[in-house]
Structure 1
Amino acid sequence: MSESTSNVVYLAIAILDFVIAGWKCLALLRDPTPTLSLITVNFVTSGLVFTMAAPVGYRRLGELTGVPGFATLPVYIGILTCFSLLHLLTMLWDPRLRQRPAVLRRRVTLWSAAYVAAPAVMIVAFCAADLSGPADPLKFNTDYATEPLIQVFLAVFLTTLACGTLSTYRQCRMVKLEDPRFQRALRSFGIAMLFVFGYVVCCAPAITLAALGNHTLDTVGVLGSTFGSIGALITSYGLSGAAVGAWLRERRDIKALQPLWDLVVEGVDEDLAFSVDSARSHRLAWNVGFNLHRRVIEILDGMRALRPWVSPLPAAAVYAAYEHEPSPGKADARRLPERDLSERDLEAAATAAALRDAAQRLQAARREAALRGRPGHPQAPGGPQVALPGEDTPASDERQRLLRVAQALTAPLVVTALRAVRVQRSGSGVSEATEEVSEATKVTDEVSEVSERP
């Protein structure tokens, strides 16, 4: 890469690393764990490495220290730091090693000692070397290859990097994790390690020939930095891809829950919302997890507020409509599209129908109260309250349950069931305020009639 291209690429990667580091730091404050700490430090170090490795940063650091090639030392030590952290991370993720704490502790100790000893030797060799004269940010390895102490410096660096990347690649290939997100991260690490090893493959022969006075492969040595940059990008994806995927899923779920929120919160009592901006919270790009949890809590509160208006008829109508089969002799009878619903989806449809019906009853009671000169004080129906389907769902499954309910709000099965309920009420003349649970059994005939209409 040319210097101008290197500046753009390296600084772009540095900005990306710092952004992800900030994101991981916020997650670390909420959930401090050893692995998340390693990941955060890795991104901070990587951002600093690419900032100093960019020719503009490289030259600026040389001006500040008075040694043109000084940036090579912190850059190479930073590279080893990043990949040592990734290597340790893969060992901590290995379930086989976690089952043998003594073996895990021994391996981590040995590799940590190697990753500390290598930079120590590199610092001594670099500081004792003669680095007089200008330094090319992209050709330091070959320009100073004839200096014996720099040869030691580069040999230790490339050897440690090669051993670390290949060991990490082997570890990634061997580890099998139950969580597919972590398994994909390990697969990304493995691919990244091969690219970084490509940097070693390019630099080693170029440095060897340059030490012998032949600079034919200097360009190949510069090409090695491209492999290192690609490896860094793949590593960043492996460490943050799962989190980004979860973030996108949370934003998608917030939008999917919006119709249900509009029905049971905005349409029932806006005071149930966390703030006046709740209706627009799905547009926020930050703290999506908090917004999603808040949205679920608000919806559950709204459903509880609707409880006095819930009737057993809509849920019964949904089950009746689902079980109803058109008569064989009626060619124009339509089959509902949801003929193969799972038990949970059918339960969600029943809940959606009950909530839509309850909201309609509440709005009708509010209009009646307004006509009587008592706006905002609707009279709730008497009798025992009816439980909504799925109210015994564990808290960990509420999000998925509400997503199914939100999706079912406009389903044909729900529309058909509500139509049947209206027919039942208008035909029987039963007052909504005195509706009894036993009347739910009268819905089946009306469902059959409604579902067979063209």
Structure 2
Amino acid sequence: MRTGALVSERSVTAACLLVASFNFIIACWKAAALRRERTSTLALTVMSFFVSALVYATASPAVYRGIGKQVGQPSGATLPIYAGIVICYGAIHLSTLFWDPSGSFRDGVRIRRHASAWAGGYAAAIISMVASFLLADLPDHAADPMSFNTELVEGEPFVFAFLALFFLSLSCATLGTARLAWRSNPKSARLRHAVRWLSFSMVITFGYVLFNVPAVVLASLGNHRLDEMGLFGSGMGILGAFTVSYGMSGAAIRAWLSERRDIKSIHPLWNLVVAGVDRKLAFGPSSRIVFRMTNVRFILHRRVIEILDGMRVLRAWASPTVTEIVEKHVEANSAGLSPELREALVTAAVLREAAGQLAEARRRASLEGRAQPLPPGTPAVPLPGDGKAASAERARLLLVARHLEHPLVLSALKRVKAAG
């Protein structure tokens, strides 16, 4: 097998199946997002990842040969693989056209026309590839998916036409996407990093064409001195698939991981002001693990809303005298701390004291046979940090949650207890 000239067949199989598995997982994740947000860009992205997973699973040498045996042509799997690659990268190109925030296609009608033209071009290329492949006189000997381009093109014009159409389509898709991604300028730093990486990954994938074209041209003339360069180009294609996957999903993955961390970080505050106050404030939990894993942003927003509702309940148990004692204590011992952190420390101490007052009132109500505790007679007062913009609440509550056990909070609670 020619695959072994540079790398072992086992390594190629492992790499292909790894790419296929990774892209299948991302495709399922994106499909879950598509159920919530139906957009052309997301639909094309889901399709590209599903097709990519099938392509790389089929391209693994063992699967490739198995399909060849089933269809009676050792190289038969090459056609769906190469057509799938065109579909995959063509879909990415079209999704970038629809998503492009640079403003070059501001007119929605023009965007659709431009995308339709490219889609028609890719469809025509695939149809022509199918015709060329079926007309080719392919040999019956065992095929090697990594060296098909250079092994079977010699003296076979239809194979050459098939590969020429494939290289042209892949060049248009990769370079077109790279150009659109590079010139886009999203406001989010995370998205800017993602589109720059996508552009870079498309250039890497174009390396497949760059290394294979001269090798195929020479091989078609009977000169196989550059065959190993074609094999190196195939490696560039696999590397490009990894980098494309990161470029199209890296920002979302980092956001997902960040939101998962925030859910974990905010949980102590949720326990204090929701679970410890009234579990009826919490929305009904979903029993589906898939929902909890794919909808972390919704769950985090839900936690924030529940915490804010619990804090409103605790207002009735918060004393202005306690707030004043805590504020003075924190102010006197917080040299060098930012105003946001000082406010978070005061909020944490006041909430802990109010939750403690509510727990004590419930204990007394239980002893006296009353169903509900009686709040103190003092009017409810605003809690520290009330009135923040909704967009700032997540960051504020995270800061409070992370400092519930801060030494200044604990010493402030001791000061309140000493004051009686």
User: TM over 0.5, yes or no?
Assistant: yes
The 5 A counterparts of 1:15-414 are: 15-92=21-98, 93-101=100-108, 103-134=110-141, 135-146=143-154, 147-274=156-283, 285=293, 287-324=295-332, 336-337=333-334, 339-342=336-339, 344-370=340-366, 372-374=367-369, 377-414=372-409
Deviation at 1:98, TM superposition (A): 4.0
Deviation at 1:422, TM superposition (A): 2.8
SS of residue matched to 1:68:
coil
Alpha-carbon separation, structure 2, partners of 1:7 and 1:269: 55
Deviation at 1:156, TM superposition (A): 1.4
Per-residue Cα deviation, 1:127-173 (whole angstroms, up to 9, x for no partner): 11111312222221112112111111111111222233223222222
Going from structure 1 to structure 2, the CA distance change for 1:307 and 1:31 (only over 3 Å counts) comes to same
Alpha-carbon separation, structure 1, partners of 2:179 and 2:279: 56
Alpha-carbon separation, structure 2, partners of 1:159 and 1:108: 17
List gaps (5 residues or longer) in structure 1. 325-335, 427-454
SS of residue matched to 1:368:
helix
Q: Does 1:419 align with 2:388?
A: no
Q: Which amino acid aligns with 1:255?
A: K
Going from structure 1 to structure 2, the CA distance change for 1:81 and 1:321 (only over 3 Å counts) comes to same
| Aligned position for 1:439 | none
SS of residue matched to 2:103:
helix
Is the contact made by 1:189 and 1:234 (CA closer than 8 Å) also made in structure 2?
yes
Which stretch has the larger CA shift, 409-418 or 53-62? Answer: 409-418
Alpha-carbon separation, structure 1, partners of 2:108 and 2:297: 34
Is the contact made by 1:142 and 1:210 (CA closer than 8 Å) also made in structure 2?
yes
Deviation at 1:238, TM superposition (A): 1.1
Which stretch has the larger CA shift, 143-152 or 160-169? Answer: 160-169
Deviation at 1:40, TM superposition (A): 0.6
Alpha-carbon separation, structure 2, partners of 1:15 and 1:202: 26
Alpha-carbon separation, structure 2, partners of 1:375 and 1:136: 81
| Aligned position for 2:4 | none
Is the contact made by 2:269 and 2:400 (CA closer than 8 Å) also made in structure 1?
yes
RMSD: 2.4
Going from structure 1 to structure 2, the CA distance change for 1:323 and 1:289 (only over 3 Å counts) comes to closer
Alpha-carbon separation, structure 2, partners of 1:315 and 1:230: 59
> Normalising by structure 1, what TM-score?
0.83
Alpha-carbon separation, structure 2, partners of 1:419 and 1:303: 22
Alpha-carbon separation, structure 2, partners of 1:302 and 1:180: 34
Going from structure 1 to structure 2, the CA distance change for 1:87 and 1:7 (only over 3 Å counts) comes to same
Is the contact made by 2:330 and 2:346 (CA closer than 8 Å) also made in structure 1?
no
Going from structure 1 to structure 2, the CA distance change for 1:212 and 1:172 (only over 3 Å counts) comes to same
Is the contact made by 1:313 and 1:421 (CA closer than 8 Å) also made in structure 2?
no
SS of residue matched to 2:277:
coil
Deviation at 1:350, TM superposition (A): 2.7
Alpha-carbon separation, structure 2, partners of 1:314 and 1:37: 55
| Aligned position for 2:13 | 7
Alpha-carbon separation, structure 1, partners of 2:172 and 2:254: 32
Deviation at 1:100, TM superposition (A): 4.0
Alpha-carbon separation, structure 2, partners of 1:72 and 1:299: 56
Which stretch has the larger CA shift, 191-200 or 387-396? Answer: 387-396
Q: Which amino acid aligns with 2:266?
A: L
Is the contact made by 2:330 and 2:412 (CA closer than 8 Å) also made in structure 1?
no
The 5 A counterparts of 1:433-444 are: none
Is the contact made by 1:318 and 1:413 (CA closer than 8 Å) also made in structure 2?
no
SS of residue matched to 2:104:
helix
SS of residue matched to 2:123:
helix
Is the contact made by 2:326 and 2:416 (CA closer than 8 Å) also made in structure 1?
no
List gaps (5 residues or longer) in structure 2. 1-6
Alpha-carbon separation, structure 1, partners of 2:63 and 2:363: 69
SS of residue matched to 1:391:
coil
Going from structure 1 to structure 2, the CA distance change for 1:322 and 1:16 (only over 3 Å counts) comes to same
Is the contact made by 2:331 and 2:342 (CA closer than 8 Å) also made in structure 1?
no
> Normalising by structure 2, what TM-score?
0.89
SS of residue matched to 2:373:
coil
Per-residue Cα deviation, 1:36-91 (whole angstroms, up to 9, x for no partner): 11111110010011011111221122122222211111111111112112222222
Q: Which amino acid aligns with 2:256?
A: W
Per-residue Cα deviation, 1:244-289 (whole angstroms, up to 9, x for no partner): 11111111111111221222223333444446899xx9xx655433
Is the contact made by 2:326 and 2:350 (CA closer than 8 Å) also made in structure 1?
no
SS of residue matched to 2:31:
helix
Alpha-carbon separation, structure 2, partners of 1:220 and 1:127: 27
Is the contact made by 1:318 and 1:350 (CA closer than 8 Å) also made in structure 2?
yes
